């Protein structure tokens, strides 16, 4: 079973920041939080990952709460091309990568 | 170009036939994964392998088989025992360790008629 919970869908206006939440209340100390996205009928694309510190790259920022029980993926200036299903994953000791149902993000023009 | 390649992109088979999906990577990754995706659903793990000559069942392994004879290759066989084989199949690879990203192929859409 997936170790994460995400809202099934979200809307965001084009040009605004998209903030996608994820709950992972059972995360263990050495497990990383990963975010991927999947555009229709393609393979998932890696976005970002982190352990306990906030992370930023050219695509997004990842904010992890101090207790590590939740995180937020931030797309700073959403465009129509960011319309996709976003998956939050906790990668554990057994090296499995288990996907949940993800959040379907709609970017509104 | 380094990457992970799945072939073919589309595959049609008659019911009752076994079919093997190809997954090749030239990224020198230790770990490889197979997932199944049904319309409107998330990815479900079929099998994964952390090292050559070793693999583990995922959540939905029944009706599938794999082999890992070479580091770069992880073929998936969909057997006639799989009740609903029509689906989108995705392969992924990653370096060893928790702090590493996985790379996905572009998938094979299998239709069994």
pLDDT tens-place string over residues B40-72: 888 999 999 999 999 999 999 999 999 999 999
Which of B41, B43, B59 to mutate to test binding with chain A, by most A CBs within 10 Å of its CB? B43
- What is the band of A100 on the pLDDT scale with cuts at 50, 70, 90? confident
A98 within 8 A of A5, measured Cβ to Cβ: no
Please give the Cα distance from A109 to A80 (Å, whole number).
7
A108 within 8 A of A16, measured Cβ to Cβ: no
> CA B48: distance to chain centroid?
8
Report the percentage of chain A scoring pLDDT > 70: 95
Q: Any CB–CB contact under 8 A between B54 and chain A?
A: no
Question: What is the number of other CB atoms lying within 10 angstroms of the CB of residue A10?
Answer: 16
The per-residue DSSP string of A21-45 comes to EEE-TT--TTPEEEEEEE-TTS--E
The answer, yes or no, to whether residue A81 has pLDDT greater than 90, is yes
Shortest CA gap A12–chain B (Å): 21
> pLDDT digit string (tens) for A4-48?
999 999 999 999 999 999 999 989 888 899 999 999 889 999 999
Contact residues, chain A, for B107 at CB < 8 Å: 41-43
Q: Any CB–CB contact under 8 A between B32 and chain A?
A: no
The answer, yes or no, to whether residue A103 has pLDDT greater than 70, is yes
DSSP B48: E
> pLDDT digit string (tens) for B77-108?
999 989 899 999 999 999 877 778 899 999 99
What pLDDT is recorded for position A2?
66
> pLDDT digit string (tens) for B19-37?
999 999 999 999 999 999 9
- What is the band of B2 on the pLDDT scale with cuts at 50, 70, 90? low
Please give the Cα distance from A83 to A55 (Å, whole number).
22
SS3 state at A81:
helix
- Nearest CA-CA partner of A44 in B104, B22, B14: B104
CA nearest to A102 within chain B: B42
Comparing A1 with A24, the larger pLDDT belongs to A24
Measured in degrees and rounded to the nearest 5, phi and psi for residue A80 equal: -60, -30
- Nearest CA-CA partner of A60 in A51, A68, A50: A50
Please give the Cα distance from A2 to B27 (Å, whole number).
27
Please give the Cα distance from B24 to B95 (Å, whole number).
14
Tokens of B49: 């392998």
Shortest CA gap A99–chain B (Å): 6
């Amino acid at each position: 079973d997936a170790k994460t919970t995400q809202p099934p869908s979200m809307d965001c206006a084009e040009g605004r920041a998209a903030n996608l939440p994820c709950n992972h209340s059972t995360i263990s100390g050495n497990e990383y939080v990963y975010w991927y996205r999947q555009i229709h009928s393609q393979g998932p694309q890696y976005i970002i990952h982190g352990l306990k510190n906030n992370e930023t790259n050219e695509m997004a920022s990842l904010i992890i709460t101090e207790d590590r029980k939740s995180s937020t993926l931030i797309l700073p200036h959403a465009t129509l091309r960011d319309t996709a299903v976003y998956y939050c994953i906790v990668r554990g000791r057994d090296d499995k990568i288990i996907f949940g149902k993800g959040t379907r993000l709609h970017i509104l023009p | 170009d380094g990457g992970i390649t799945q072939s073919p992109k589309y595959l049609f088979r008659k019911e009752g036939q076994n079919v093997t999906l190809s997954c090749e990577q030239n990224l020198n990754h230790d770990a490889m994964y197979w997932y199944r995706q049904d319309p409107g659903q998330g990815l479900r793990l079929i099998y994964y392998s952390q090292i050559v000559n070793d693999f583990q069942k995922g959540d939905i392994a029944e009706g599938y088989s794999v082999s890992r004879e070479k580091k770069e290759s992880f073929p998936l066989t969909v057997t006639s025992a799989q009740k609903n084989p029509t689906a989108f199949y995705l392969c992924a690879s990653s370096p060893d360790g928790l702090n590493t990203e996985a790379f996905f192929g572009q998938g094979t859409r299998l239709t069994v008629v």
